[in-house]
Amino acid sequence: MDDFYVSHSRFSDPGVQAEWLDATPRDIAALREAASQLVFHYWAQGDITEHGFPAERREEITLRYASDMFARLRELDPAPPGGPRSPLQRIVGCCRDFTLLFVSMARHHGIPARARAGFASYLMPGWYIDHVVAEVHDGSGWHLVEPQLPPGYRDPVDDTELDLLDVPRDRFLTGADAWTAARAGDVDPARLVVSPDLDVPFLRGLPYARYSLQFDLASLNKHEMLQWDVWGGLDAAVSLTSDALARTDELAELMADADVEQLRVAFEADDVRVPPVIRTVTPPGLLPVEVVLR
């Protein structure tokens, strides 16, 4: 591994807020816990207005860049990340935002870190839920880090405490691993969902596993995208063609073993590369709008 994952992406770069992060420790556990205090999930605990948020603060889910996210957090509470924050002092967001802020703080301290898109089995028994976590390199290998959940979180599947600093690989399947497992019959594709009660065919099964795999490839290339972005070969098809299946198989096999340079080369293909202008479909399902990336 080279220094690729130590340097910032355009998304993780804290910009002028970098000095604000100097007060955070160069410690993975402390940074993980700090990140867990920075975001209030936009739907996991019901409507945000039931928790005192004005409805207009839901627009914070569109914050794309760590620099803007840290700036907003600083407005809400000038104390640097690391201490407890009340819900209203956090930005409204989702798993991707917990992860991006953790990755940004880790890279700020020279810790190799990246986002991984995939599916977690530890959020709801019986399901693999669409999720984004971080991955850090300790010099000997990569470890999955869960930035969203509180200390002491217990996996509801078996009521054991989840290791938030080294999430087992069978409890979080990266996009490529989920695709491979589903294609091999090791995981029922119907269990791969954004949410069990979200009755949108594209947001479950193999079509969404393909979507997750492309997000994961982007993350491995330091493009930490919003969960509702669309680009390249991504579409809302619910019936995959033989060509689409073969292409996704090819990418999954490559991602299982590729080094950084191979991942960069793979990401140059038009069907997966993030272009300067993308489309985004912000929940609850508005029409796609074009976004020019910085």
pLDDT of residue 1: 53
Give the number of other CB atoms < 10 A from CB of residue 130.
27
- Give residue-wise pLDDT tens across range 150-165: 999 999 999 999 999 9
Determine the Cα angle at 99 with ends 44 and 131, to 5°: 50
Give exposure, 215-232, as e/b (b: 16+ Cβ within 10 Å): bbbbbbbbbbbbbbbbbb
Q: What are the pLDDT tens digits along the chain (294 aa)?
A: 568 999 999 999 999 999 999 999 999 999 999 999 999 999 999 999 999 999 999 999 999 999 999 999 999 999 999 999 999 999 999 999 999 999 999 999 999 999 999 999 999 999 999 999 999 999 889 999 999 999 999 999 999 999 999 999 999 999 999 999 999 999 999 999 999 998 888 899 999 999 999 999 999 999 999 999 999 988 877 789 999 999 999 999 999 988 999 999 999 999 999 999 999 999 887 788 999 999
pLDDT of residue 213: 97
Instruction: List 144's β-bridge partners, or say none.
Output: 135
- Give residue-wise pLDDT tens across range 230-287: 999 888 777 899 999 999 999 999 999 889 999 999 999 999 999 999 999 998 877 8
The DSSP secondary structure of 258-284, one letter per residue, reads --HHHHHHHTTSTTTS--SEEEE--TT
Six-digit token pair at 255? 């991602």
3-state DSSP call for residue 89?
helix
pLDDT of residue 173: 98
Euclidean distance between CA atoms 90 and 83, whole angstroms: 12
